Structure 1
Amino acid sequence: MTKYLINRLLISIPTLFAISIIIFAILALAPGDPMGEFALNPSLTAEVRENVRRSLGLDQPIYIRYIKWFVAFMTGDMGYSFTSRSPVGALILQRLPTTLWVVGSAYILGTILAVPLGVISALKRHSVFDVILTTLVFFGFSLPTFFTGLLFIIIFSVQLKWLPFIYNSTLQVTDWQSFTAQIQQSIMPVCVLALWQAAMLMRFVRSEVLENLHQDYVRTAYAKGLPTFAVIYRHVLRNALIPVVTLVALDIPNIFTGALVTEQVFRVPGIGALLIDSIYRNDTPVVMAITFIYAILIVVFNLIADILYGLLDPRVKYTK
């Protein structure tokens, strides 16, 4: 196990290094000028704009800029935003609680719904419950989140006037009334993301449970006289969740990097909205930091998923 982890880490380090080079090169060579906003200001002369460009290091060769950025990132310094002149790390930490609250709640809710519904749907295959649930899952998985979000806004905000359709980022939870308001404004974005997450996971859970229900070890367990719940919980579900672990692990980084589309629809001031806004403004340091953090999380949770395989399935052996 230790040897396997060391080998994976030795592979992950050059992988992340290569990803950082690709991200930096794409953003550095992409069209658009980070100093474009200064060009619209008639009070700034060309000399002043050139001095600002020099102070930001934009006049240096691309490889020098990359080395400085990578070394600084490894020491925890993500640089400064070109537009707000604030530290990138502070901007991300400012948006992180909102993203964790909205996207994290949706992820947990979607996973809690997906696993039991997927198992029940597989056990009641071709029943009325299975047909209705499968149809709903098909629509939930097929409809994009921006369409579902707009539909929720039209129904629950415009027509019924039950929920606010714009997320109030200035709301401070200080008493029960403000806490209720926070819950109300979070219901629609959380439900939109949770429905999509549950629909995606439930399809895989149902498929894997159906595949394992007819295996020899299940028939053997029933022959031993084990009750249905014990067979499903101890044998079927444990094996069925092995491929689902990969999906769950790969989706967890989204909790930290935000839901790009949904945050834009509901004006949630999360990290996803920060990334989109930074792309529009050619704010390269912010875009590089968020995308590289996402890459790191993907690699880390892939490794966690591989470790969980061994805990769920004793047949998995770490030999390399």
Structure 2
Amino acid sequence: MSVFLAKRLATFLATLAIASALVFAVLELLPGNVAQVILGDTATPESLAALEARLGLDRPALERYIAWVGGLLQGRTADSVSYGTPTAELIAERLHVTLPLAVMAMALTVVLSLGLGVYAASRHQRLGDVGVMALSQLGIAIPSFWFAILLILLFAVKLQWVGAGGFPGWSEDDGGGLWPGLKALLLPALSLALVQAAILARVTRSAVLEVMREDFVRTARAKGLSARATLWRHVLRNAMIPVLTVTGLQFANLVTGTIVVENVFVLPGIGRLVFQAIANRDLVVVRDVVMGLVAMVVVVNFVVDVLYASIDPRLKASDA
């Protein structure tokens, strides 16, 4: 197990190092002067020189890259050009919305997809299976922002059960609280989950059907175990590896994919921050947000690899 974890950890660190170099290089390759891009064509030479000195653009690229990575490792980030505060504070503030939204969407995705996938597999080539596959195909075809608009029209405009957008906050002192906050995130989470659940349900169905054809399943049934008990005790556990693969990727996609949905529901999350930073040409914020999202994706994949080993010991043995 220690060898397995050591290899995965080395891959994790190498991926982060390569990603940081690519993120930095992409911004370095932007046409023109970065300070000029931020301030626009009407900027005076004095203001350009001042911003270049503030951003450290008067130093060599390698020196700036080392300073940026070193600051990230020490928990220090540069100040945003448009907000005047460290980007770490801006990102941490917006994650209070984005992370709960992604977790809620992932929870809904898992519940919907496992239930529908197992249901479809247990009724293979029957009406229930065909119906689930048809719904999943529809879910894959429709983008999440379109689901968001439909949910707003139904539950906010027509039924008026929830608000059409905005976020009251988690603090009761500001007029929010736990329930108002969760209520505000419910429709965005559902709009994200419907698309991801459609994909994961198909993966779950295929994985369950493949395991159901194995010899140990027939042996369990021959020993008198009921079909339901065999399905939940033996089949589902062995079908979880491909499901976990997609689930890990989906959670990473949910964190990064909230950008559009947050703008539809006017939520003050990472998505809004990125859009505002791009509109304000605040490349310092864009760089740190992108690096933060990359780090989240890599961490999720690392956790999924560890979960693989706990579910299937053969993976640990192959890496020993």
**Does the TM-score normalized on the shorter chain lie above 0.5?**
yes
Q: What is aligned with 2:243?
A: 244
Q: Which range is displaced more, 3-12 or 142-151?
A: 3-12
Q: What is aligned with 1:212?
A: 211
Whole-angstrom distance in 1 between the partners of 2:175 and 2:287:
39
Q: What is aligned with 1:102?
A: 101
Q: What is aligned with 2:191?
A: 192
Please report how far the alpha carbon of residue 254 of structure 1 lies from its aligned counterpart in structure 2 after TM superposition. 4.6
The percent of aligned pairs where both chains have the same amino acid is 36
Q: Which range is displaced more, 235-244 or 302-311?
A: 302-311
Please report how far the alpha carbon of residue 59 of structure 1 lies from its aligned counterpart in structure 2 after TM superposition. 2.7
Q: What is aligned with 1:22?
A: 22
Give the alignment of 1:56-135 within 5 angstroms.
56-135=55-134
Whole-angstrom distance in 2 between the partners of 1:28 and 1:314:
44
Q: What is aligned with 2:311?
A: 312
Please report how far the alpha carbon of residue 94 of structure 1 lies from its aligned counterpart in structure 2 after TM superposition. 0.5
TM-score with structure 2 setting the length: 0.89
Q: What is aligned with 2:232?
A: 233
Question: What RMSD, in angstroms, separates the aligned Cα atoms of the two structures?
Answer: 2.6
Please report how far the alpha carbon of residue 26 of structure 1 lies from its aligned counterpart in structure 2 after TM superposition. 0.4
What SS is found at the alignment partner of 1:149? helix
Q: Which range is displaced more, 226-235 or 65-74?
A: 226-235
Please report how far the alpha carbon of residue 281 of structure 1 lies from its aligned counterpart in structure 2 after TM superposition. 2.7
Q: Which range is displaced more, 266-275 or 199-208?
A: 266-275
Q: Which range is displaced more, 249-258 or 309-318?
A: 249-258
Q: Which runs of 5+ in 1 are unaligned?
A: none
Contact 1:106–1:193, Cα closer than 8 Å, also in 2: yes
What SS is found at the alignment partner of 2:314? coil
Contact 2:169–2:181, Cα closer than 8 Å, also in 1: no
Whole-angstrom distance in 1 between the partners of 2:145 and 2:254:
18
Give the alignment of 1:44-55 within 5 angstroms.
45-55=44-54
Whole-angstrom distance in 2 between the partners of 1:21 and 1:226:
55
Whole-angstrom distance in 2 between the partners of 1:218 and 1:171:
48
Q: Check 1:259–1:128 CA distance in 2 against 1; reply closer, same or farther (3 A cut).
A: same
What SS is found at the alignment partner of 1:293? helix
Whole-angstrom distance in 2 between the partners of 1:39 and 1:201:
45
Contact 1:100–1:255, Cα closer than 8 Å, also in 2: no
Whole-angstrom distance in 2 between the partners of 1:76 and 1:27:
21
Q: What is aligned with 1:147?
A: 146
Please report how far the alpha carbon of residue 96 of structure 1 lies from its aligned counterpart in structure 2 after TM superposition. 1.0
Contact 1:110–1:198, Cα closer than 8 Å, also in 2: yes
Contact 2:112–2:197, Cα closer than 8 Å, also in 1: yes
Q: What is aligned with 2:286?
A: 287
Q: Check 1:279–1:290 CA distance in 2 against 1; reply closer, same or farther (3 A cut).
A: same
Please report how far the alpha carbon of residue 11 of structure 1 lies from its aligned counterpart in structure 2 after TM superposition. 3.1
Contact 2:149–2:264, Cα closer than 8 Å, also in 1: yes
